[in-house]
Every structure is written in C-alpha cells, then in structure tokens.
Amino acid sequence: MRLFVTMLLTATLLGCSTIENTQQKFYTWMPKDHDAMMFNQLVAIDLAVEKVDCEAPDWFYIQGMVDHLTRYAEYRYDQQVENLQGLSAHLTKLSASTNPTFCKLGKKTADSRIDAIVKAWRDR
C-alpha cells in the first residue's frame, strides 16, 4: 500500500511540471486568436515602409514600431515572433546604410517579411 501511495504521489508531482511544460509548448504551436492591435500595428509598419524615401531613409521610427510589435508577439507566444525578429534585425542593417540601392532592396525584403506575417494572420 505504501508503495502504491508513493508511486501515486510521484506521478502527481511529475505530472504537474509536465503539464505546465506541455501547456507552454502548446501555446506556441497553436495559432492565436485575431488581435486587432497587432494587425493595426502591422498595417502601420507596412505603410511606413512604403513611404520611406530611399534618398534620405529614416528607419528609426519603423524600427521602434517593429520592436513594439515583436515584444507584444513574444508576450502572446505568437508563431510570427521569429519573422518579426528577422524584420527587426533587417531594419537595423538598413538603418546603418544610406545607399539608395541597398534601401530599395531592403524595402522589398521588408515587404516580403510583412506579407508573410499578413498571410499567417489573415484568417484568424
């Protein structure tokens, strides 16, 4: 009987930590419900990227918006966190250069990352 109680308590204690770990992984695997704030922020980023003048690029404002959205997505365990982190790193590289050709190529890359996020979030 003692052995049975010991095994039951052990299974219960191990089960609690396993359930907690599984829940956290489950939250990162499952798509999150639509969040109007996140999509609104993404639209603002998309419009700001379109309006960047490659003769005198200013990426700092957009960088702040992307960092804000990235942190928000991290808090929600959203699947697009890696894509947003990549966009943030890309904008950091763009802000270090004033070359118009690099700017135009960078805008295309940023647009493709934004489009990937839009497609992921579209049907939520």
Domain residues for the domain of 90 are 31-121
For the stretch 2-29, pLDDT in tens is 777 777 777 676 666 666 666 666 655 6
End-to-end CA distance of the chain: 52
Question: What was the pLDDT predicted at 25?
Answer: 61
Indicate whether 19 and 4 sit together in one domain: yes
Look at residues 38, 6, 4 and name the one whose alpha carbon lies nearest to residue 118.
Answer: 38
Indicate whether 115 and 76 sit together in one domain: yes
Domain count, the chain: 2
Indicate whether 81 and 92 sit together in one domain: yes
Q: Rounded CA gap, 10 and 78, in Å?
A: 33
For the stretch 68-119, pLDDT in tens is 999 998 988 888 899 999 999 999 998 888 888 999 999 999 999 999 999 9
Indicate whether 76 and 25 sit together in one domain: no
